[in-house]
Amino acid sequence: MLPEEIKNLIGRSTPTKTCEVEKGAIRRFANAVDDPNPLYCDEVYAQKSRYGSIIAPPGFFGWPKEQDRNSAITIDTPPALITALEQAGYPLSSVVDGGIEYEFFLPIRAGDVLTAKTTVLNIRERAGSSMNLVFIILETVYANQNSSRVATAQVTAIFRSINPQEKERTNA
Amino acid sequence: MPEQIYWENIEVGVEIKPLAKVSTTQMLVKWAGASGDFNPLHYDTAFAESVGVGKPIVHGALKRQWLIQLVTNWMGERGTLEKFSCQYRAMDYPRQMKTMTAPQEGETWWCKGEVTKKYTEGNQHFVDCNIRVENGKGEVTTSGRATVIIPTKS
């Protein structure tokens, strides 16, 4: 059973992040996927397209200005939730990505400055065969510099209770 | 960009042109840098073992991005991706590098999909698709759905 203090964090939001969408970062992102779409990298081509400028691939929301230098993951969660999960036997190091749901409303262009705010939508625990799992649903709303909503993302982060016996078995 | 696809030419059941991908340790490094995901789960064998996944795994978000590429390629420049979802169902392990730029022999992943629904809302023309990533054995390791707006000929 998850402690009540964890369940109480449903509805909690993170501080708003500002993300700059730079064309170099777009290019690097598209290159990492090996997606040669000229809308992401060819300025002349993109200008003649219906977008009129370089756009970001769906799934890229720029680079946060307030990037935490010590952060190893991209999911944004209230720090209180991470601490509480750790105490309940679900360390951050156990996290795996479960999946995502996007809704796209407007194109994101090179030069846009986005704001991103993440809210904890749901937390539920499930007993597995070798370990327990906690599913955290986080919703991020992205808006551009004109305060228009550009996209929403719902991420499922799965925290696992990696018990000591399990660890030993894996290391053996 | 490939030739533009039109709503009139799409039928339910039609296959989306598959996209082949080879994930390598190098690609995972590039993805980590470009996405900001620095979880050692994706590059450190001892860490990956200690958290119970055996060895470094392909980022779920990279597989997500492969599927987004599959759909945006298919819908063409005048298509618009409205909704996209995917779930990571099984781990994938990257190929190691043979040379500075070429991977060792091994697994090739295929991104595939098909049209499940075709409909209009107002004056917009929508198509729903099921999409998936298959590993070298043909097992589905990621599955999802997409909704796109497709242009009409008229």
- The ranges of chain B with pLDDT < 50 are none
Structure tokens at B68: 């987004």
Separation between Cα atoms, residue A149 and residue A130, nearest integer Å: 42
Confidence of residue A170 (pLDDT cuts 50, 70, 90): very low
What's the pLDDT at A169?
46
- Measured between CA atoms, how close is B83 to chain A, in angstroms? 5
pLDDT of A86-101, one tens digit each? 999 999 999 999 999 9
Q: How many domains does chain B have?
A: 1
Chain A positions in Cβ-Cβ contact with residue B54 (cut-off 8 Å): 170
Report which of residues A15 and A154 the model is more confident about.
A154
Structural domains of chain A, with CATH:
4-20+65-171 (3.10.129.10), 22-60 (no CATH)
- For the segment A109-130, the average pLDDT, to the nearest whole number, is 94
Q: Do A97 and B59 make contact, defined as CB atoms within 8 angstroms?
A: yes
Do strands A96-104 and B80-88 pair parallel, antiparallel, or not at all (unpaired)? Answer: antiparallel
Q: Which residues span the domain enclosing B42? A: 12-149
pLDDT more than 70, % of chain B: 99
Task: Report pLDDT for A165.
Answer: 45
Chain B interface, mutation test: which of A27, A28, A33, A95, most B Cβ atoms within 10 Å?
A33
Q: Is B43 on the interface with A (CB under 8 A)?
A: no
Using the predicted structure, report yes or no on whether residue A130 has a pLDDT greater than 90: no
Cα–Cα distance for residue pair A86/A89, rounded to 1 Å: 5
pLDDT in tens, A19-28: 999 999 999 9
Residue B99 lies in a domain: yes
Q: Say yes or no to pLDDT of A151 above 90.
A: yes
Q: Is residue B81 part of a domain?
A: yes
Residues A105 and A102: their CA atoms lie apart, in Å, by: 10
User: Is there a domain that residue B115 lies in?
Assistant: yes
Q: Is B45 part of any domain?
A: yes
Helix, strand, coil percentages for chain B (3-state, nearest 5): 25, 35, 40
More reliable by pLDDT, A3 or A134: A134
Question: Residue B4 domain-assigned?
Answer: no
Q: Is residue B49 part of a domain?
A: yes
pLDDT tens column, B87-124: 999 999 999 999 999 999 999 999 999 999 999 999 99
Residue B128 belongs to domain with CATH number:
3.10.129.10
Q: Quick one: what percent of chain A has pLDDT higher than 90?
A: 77
Phi first, then psi, for residue A58 (nearest 5°) are -55, 130
